[in-house]
């Protein structure tokens, strides 16, 4: 059904308005990273690259960035393995309490971050006697990152069904061969989406990290929060935020390309 000219114009106007609301603050972050005024006076009186140089030579920002990347990569790897296995297990088996298990897997992302953080902190320090470290941050982040991979795997498996896997096994392929040549290629784009979302959630997490990190393990969100209102640090924080905005384009572009290639491959296989 074709839309009227007035309706199309209204939809276009709403789309433009939403994009302006979303991207204007991001553009201001990038612009303020060149603002000569350290208090972000508007409009800027002049522009400078001094804050970019200060950010490049900030050991605290570099260390926090590397910590966040390390934690996010490790948490994403754990989530990919456990989330995929959980999704496959619940799809292939039927047992009493199956829905309860699914609910338990999904629960961590539904709980408030402060509740999850306090619970994990108590579990690590009081129950298990584990000292807070980079390891505890990774485990804490993996608890909610698993949910994103699990949801993507389940949604993709329900949409695809099991006909191709059954055909593979009928032709003599074993379970591992079927998974490697049939199941995994069908799940590739879903796993990629889950991995990107998991990485983003972990990289951005601050509440759970506050309760599960030691004083010597500072992620980038913690560093930004602690330095935003310090003298001479606000502009550097703006530069770090601008870099994150610009570099976020890369994984999105790669995800689109890889997802498109996977979809074309699946279409050709059919």
How do residues 131-165 score in pLDDT, each as one tens digit? 888 899 999 999 988 988 888 888 787 777 666 66
Closest alpha carbon to 234 in 36, 62, 45: 36
* φ, ψ of residue 47 in degrees (nearest 5): -125, 150
How do residues 215-269 score in pLDDT, each as one tens digit? 888 888 888 888 877 766 777 888 888 887 777 777 666 656 655 544 445 444 4
C-alpha dihedral sign at 208, 106, 189, 177: positive
Top-confidence range, 75-84, 108-117, 181-190: 75-84
Helix (H, G, I), strand (E, B) or coil at 65: helix
Fold for 59-269, please state it. MetI-like fold (1.10.3720)
Helical residues (DSSP H) of 131-270, grouped into ranges:
134-160, 163-170, 175-178, 184-204, 207-212, 220-227, 234-247, 249-269
How do residues 16-43 score in pLDDT, each as one tens digit? 999 888 888 888 878 877 877 776 667 7
Are the CB atoms for 66 and 108 separated by under 8 Å?
no
Angle at 26 between CA 240 and CA 190, to 5 degrees: 85
Tell me, rounded to whole angstroms, the distance of Cα 127 from its chain centroid: 29
């Amino acid at each position: 059904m074709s839309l009227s000219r007035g309706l199309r114009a209204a939809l276009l106007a709403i789309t433009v308005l939403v994009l302006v609301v979303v991207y204007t603050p991001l553009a201001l972050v990038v612009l303020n990273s060149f603002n000569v005024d350290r208090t972000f006076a508007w409009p800027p009186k002049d522009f400078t690259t001094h804050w970019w140089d200060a950010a490049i030579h900030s050991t605290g920002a570099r260390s926090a960035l590397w910590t966040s990347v390390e934690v996010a990569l490790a948490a994403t790897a754990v989530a990919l393995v456990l989330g995929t296995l959980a999704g496959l297990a619940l799809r292939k088996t039927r047992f009493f309490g199956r829905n309860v298990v699914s609910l338990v897997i999904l629960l961590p992302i539904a709980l408030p971050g402060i509740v999850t953080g306090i619970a994990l902190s108590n579990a690590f320090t009081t129950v298990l006697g584990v000292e807070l470290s980079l390891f505890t941050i990774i485990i804490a982040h993996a608890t909610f990152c698993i949910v994103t991979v699990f949801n993507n795997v389940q949604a993709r498996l329900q949409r695809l069904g099991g006909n191709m896997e059954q055909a593979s096994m009928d032709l003599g392929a074993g379970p591992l061969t079927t998974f490697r040549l049939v199941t995994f290629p069908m799940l590739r784009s879903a796993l990629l989406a889950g991995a990107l979302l998991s990485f983003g959630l972990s990289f951005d997490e601050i509440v759970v990290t506050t309760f599960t990190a030691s004083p010597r393990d500072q992620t980038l969100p913690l560093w930004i929060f602690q330095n935003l209102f310090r003298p001479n640090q606000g502009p550097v924080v703006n530069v770090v935020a601008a870099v994150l905005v610009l570099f976020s384009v890369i994984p999105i572009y790669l995800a689109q390309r890889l997802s498109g290639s996977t979809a074309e491959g699946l279409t050709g296989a059919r």
